[in-house]
Amino acid sequence: MDTLKDHAFVKMNGLGNEIVVVNMRHQPGRIRAEEVRAAACAVRFDQMMVLGPPRTPDTDAVVRIYNCDGSEAGACGNGMRCVIALLHHETGRSRFCFETPAGLLTGWTADAGQYAVDLGPPRFRWDEIPLAQAFADTRAIELTIGPLEAPILCSPSVVNVGNPHAVFWVDDVDAYDLGAIGPVLENHPLFPQRANISLVAVCSATRLRVRTWERGAGLTKACGSAACAAVVTAARTGRARRTAHASLPGGDLDISWRASDDHVLMTGPAVLEARGRFDSTAGAGAA
Judge if 191 and 99 occupy the same domain.
Answer: no
Judge if 210 and 100 occupy the same domain.
Answer: no
* Mean pLDDT value of segment 32-58: 93
Judge if 91 and 113 occupy the same domain.
Answer: yes
Judge if 155 and 196 occupy the same domain.
Answer: yes
Say yes or no to pLDDT of 281 above 60: no
Q: What CATH number corresponds to the domain at position 108?
A: 3.10.310.10
Judge if 87 and 176 occupy the same domain.
Answer: no
Judge if 81 and 162 occupy the same domain.
Answer: no
Asked if residue 125 is part of any domain, the answer here is no
pLDDT digit string (tens) for 220-244? 999 999 999 999 999 999 999 999 9
User: Average pLDDT over the chain, rounded to whole?
Assistant: 93
Say yes or no to pLDDT of 219 above 60: yes
Please state the φ and ψ torsions of residue 184, each to the nearest 5 degrees: -65, -45
Say yes or no to pLDDT of 285 above 90: no
Judge if 230 and 251 occupy the same domain.
Answer: yes
Distance CA 163, CA 276 (A): 29
Domain membership of residue 157 as a residue range: 144-262
Instruction: Note the pTM of the prediction, 2 decimals.
Output: 0.92
Asked if residue 201 is part of any domain, the answer here is yes
Q: Are the beta carbons of 84 and 58 closer than 8 angstroms?
A: no
Asked if residue 137 is part of any domain, the answer here is no
Say yes or no to pLDDT of 284 above 80: no
Query: How many folded domains does the chain comprise?
Result: 2
**pLDDT value of position 74:** 85
Judge if 249 and 277 occupy the same domain.
Answer: no
Q: Is 82 a catalytic residue?
A: no
Residues 6+ away with beta carbon under 8 Å from 120: 102, 103, 105, 162, 263, 264
* Mean pLDDT value of segment 41-50: 92
pLDDT digit string (tens) for 110-131? 988 899 999 999 999 999 999 9
Q: Is 223 a catalytic residue?
A: yes
Judge if 153 and 252 occupy the same domain.
Answer: yes
Give residue 287's pLDDT band: very low, low, confident or very high (50, 70, 90): very low
Asked if residue 16 is part of any domain, the answer here is yes
Q: Which residues of 72-98 are buried (b: 16+ CB within 10 A; e: fewer)?
A: ebbbbbbbbbbbbbbbbeeeeeeebbb
Q: Which of 68, 82, 223, 228 is catalytic?
A: 223
Q: Which of 68, 76, 82, 228 is catalytic?
A: 76
**pLDDT value of position 286:** 43
Asked if residue 132 is part of any domain, the answer here is no
